[in-house]
Structure 1
Amino acid sequence: MSTAQNKNQHIIPIIIIAGLFFIFGFVTWINGALIPFMKAINELTSAQSLFVASASYISFVVMAIPSSFLLNKIGYKKGMSLGLFIMGLGALVFIPAAEQRTYWMFLIGIFIQGAGMTILQTASNPYITILGPLESAAKRISIMGIANKVAGALGSIIFGALLLNGIDEMQQQLVHVDHIKKSALLNDMAESVVAPYLVMAMILFILGILIRKAPLPNVEANFNENLAVGKTSKTNIFQF
């Protein structure tokens, strides 16, 4: 009976965490749609346009260790909420970036979103592993992976339709217009990113508030006692 109760009390937290995996899968994969979009509106080279994707992954590398220190201070639940807020701030940076058509400002927005995703993932991955019996941890992680990939596919389709619709025709038209008309067309195209990212920012801020109030239990890793005090005889990580 107690086992069934434990499973039931974990259902809502698992659904909430699956939602978070869905969110950062969605946000991560839409960078693929941003590459040709950014290349067009900022008139970038292929190498420059690839920094659109790289900015996010650079953020993951830079922020990984600081995120772990932060989570040790504030805990998983507050960390997930903070990650959502930072992602929302990154989304807001896209608005002035689009209005000014400024390449480096777009990269800053992507980097900030990457920092928020790093905190969110650093918190949610171990959280879902610890949340529930150890023997079913792999199953929970697999479910989270499905949510992540489904969101990524949807993000690519949705943002591809929003940002890339008619981009080929637009680029052909740009070849035959003067500088003033070209600038006006590119400005109009850049503004198409404002509404989606404004909506995204609002959703992320609301979710950040809701996560703080969500019924997520405070969980901690239960390490093997010998490992916790460094008394293991294993000398290599591959022995575990």
Structure 2
Amino acid sequence: MSKRKTFLIPFALVTSLFFLWGIANSLNGILINHFQLALDLKRWQAGLVDFAFYLGYFFLALPAGLFMQRYGYKKGILLGLLLYAGGALLFYPAAEVRTYGFFLFALFTIASGLAFLETAANPYVSILGDPAKAEQRINFAQSFNGLSIILGPLLGSVLIFTENDFTRDDLMLMPEAQAEAIRIAEAQTVQTPYLGLALIVLLVALLFYLTPMPEPVQPGERSDGRWQSIFRHRHLTLGILAQFFYVGAQACLWGYFIDFKLAMAPDE
């Protein structure tokens, strides 16, 4: 019983990571629609939000694994949370200068942090308690990711979208000064939500720092270090391909769903 209690707080903290990265993912669809008006972007240009975001996963997932193999889960999670918070904080100056590349860099930084968190969370949950119940803990933790995917767009629409019904085409018909004032105001609506998100992430990072976190007692099996040894496993290769196409389909559907809905039924 005492051993179980020692894992309660670490498990709660790791479970919070599932919620936090779901929030970041689910806000991208809001941004794709919002940036078209705030930054005067075409739809395909706004789609670079997802491109920059998932590029962070592509470049940082393997380094994240190597980092945690050397320094442990806790330090990897702390680094991931700091990158996440740093990217969210970058939204404030990015909105001030209204530079799309700045926003994309901020999103890349957030996703770089999430690469660390996602690489750590699933295997870490499995060691926080009875090994026979590892699957139950993983499923429970992942349920909070699903919850955040539902709540993220709802919170984002309330906090980021304004009551303006203007479209990008409407602004093109306005006097330039009026249109520019609207774009400035729209761009700045992302500042407070992402600042709040950064503060929450930093608070979680502080809790992780102050909480003793267990590490695996025994190292896992090591490969011979060659890529060929990985791709000898046919099921692993097929799993990687399935994940690639699954995430691609997910990004396309999530990214443009809000944009599509507002275009089809703007008054609902």
By the TM > 0.5 criterion, same fold? yes
Q: TM-score range by the shorter chain?
A: 0.7 to 0.9
The 8 Å contact of residues 130 and 221 in structure 1, kept in 2 or not, is answered as no
- How far apart are the structure 2 equivalents of 1:175 and 1:47? 18
Q: Judging changes above 3 Å, is the alpha-carbon distance between structure 1 residues 47 and 171 closer, same or farther for their aligned structure 2 residues?
A: closer
Q: Judging changes above 3 Å, is the alpha-carbon distance between structure 1 residues 163 and 228 closer, same or farther for their aligned structure 2 residues?
A: closer
Q: Deviation of residue 197 (structure 1)?
A: 1.3
- How far apart are the structure 1 equivalents of 2:222 and 2:105? 39
Q: Deviation of residue 39 (structure 1)?
A: 1.4
> Which residue is equivalent to 1:27?
24
- How far apart are the structure 1 equivalents of 2:98 and 2:110? 19
> Which residue is equivalent to 1:12?
9
- How far apart are the structure 1 equivalents of 2:91 and 2:19? 21
> Which residue is equivalent to 1:109?
106
Larger displacement relative to structure 2 (213-222 or 193-202): 213-222
> Which residue is equivalent to 1:44?
41
> Which residue is equivalent to 1:180?
177
Q: Deviation of residue 194 (structure 1)?
A: 1.0
The 8 Å contact of residues 130 and 220 in structure 1, kept in 2 or not, is answered as no
> Which residue is equivalent to 2:200?
203
- How far apart are the structure 1 equivalents of 2:218 and 2:21? 23
TM-score when normalising by structure 1: 0.87
In structure 1, what residue type is equivalent to 2:152?
A: G
- How far apart are the structure 2 equivalents of 1:87 and 1:238? 32
> Which residue is equivalent to 1:81?
78
Structure 2 residues without counterparts, runs of 5 or longer: 225-231, 237-268
Match runs of 1:149-188 below 5 Å = 149-169=146-166, 171=168, 174-188=171-185
Q: What secondary structure does 1:44 align onto?
A: coil
- How far apart are the structure 1 equivalents of 2:120 and 2:111? 14
Tell me, yes or no, if structure 1 residue 71 matches structure 2 residue 68.
yes
The 8 Å contact of residues 36 and 168 in structure 2, kept in 1 or not, is answered as no
CA RMSD of aligned residues (A): 2.2
- How far apart are the structure 2 equivalents of 1:102 and 1:229? 44
Kindly, what percent of the aligned residue pairs are identical?
A: 30
TM-score when normalising by structure 2: 0.78
Tell me, yes or no, if structure 1 residue 143 matches structure 2 residue 140.
yes
Structure 1 residues without counterparts, runs of 5 or longer: none
- How far apart are the structure 2 equivalents of 1:211 and 1:28? 22
The 8 Å contact of residues 52 and 107 in structure 2, kept in 1 or not, is answered as yes
Q: Deviation of residue 228 (structure 1)?
A: 5.6
Q: Deviation of residue 203 (structure 1)?
A: 1.9
